[in-house]
A and B are shown apart, each in its own frame.
Chain A
């Protein structure tokens, strides 16, 4: 597609429920990144994929968070047993490569609200 797309754009859930957030990267981009943005924390890195593998998962805040990428394209971020502190905007980005030339393009984000 023309840009990175994310769905849903907004998600309201109850504490304790599981949620899935989806990211469609720019066609041909091999690297995909998840970040989250909250008022108190700014932009935090969560995980990145090169192809279907995740060389860096160091930003995932707990084992309730997981992500996968299939076919070198679409990625899903799953949050299990959501907590109120998970409320944030989840941003996805993609780039041609994660190497020396790495211009990241961001999607519009998914705003997650946990009640």
Chain B
């Protein structure tokens, strides 16, 4: 079974700070790891997908890294803004069961002006 843990569970910071959200997984035989954001009452919005052959992906102020051997991924948010306030979820598959994603419980981020 793939178990995904996200730390911290909640984070509250002032605008402008650089942030690091952590995701760890127990089975390193993954093909894909995906970061999402979820706004209250909404579905999940895909932020970044990292394939197992990649070490990082970047999109605007977001950078996600992957270290398969240690079972870790990090989402780095630069120069945080109040609009970044949301829950961030990490999901990854498992080599023996393609398709489904296993999710952590998320990090609830609040960025205040």
Contacts and interface: CB of A to CB of B under 8 A. Distances in A.
Contacts, number: 61
A101 B44 contact: no
A55 B96 CA distance: 12
Interface residues of B, number: 24
B53 to A, nearest CB: 9
Nearest to B93: A102
- Majority SS of interface residues in chain B? strand
A106 B99 contact: no
B51 A107 contact: no
Interface stretch (A14-22, A40-48, A64-72, A76-84): A40-48
B7 interface: no
Contacts of A43: 89, 91, 103
Q: What interface size band does chain A fall in? A: 20 to 34
Nearest to A45: B100
Contacts of A4: 43
Interface in B28-74: 31-32, 34, 36, 42-46, 49, 51
A106 B100 contact: no
Given A102-B98, A102-B99, 9 more contacts: A33-B100, A42-B103, A42-B105, A56-B99, A91-B44, A93-B44, A103-B32, A106-B46, A107-B43
Interface of A: 4, 31, 33, 42-43, 45, 48, 50, 55-56, 59, 91, 93, 98-109
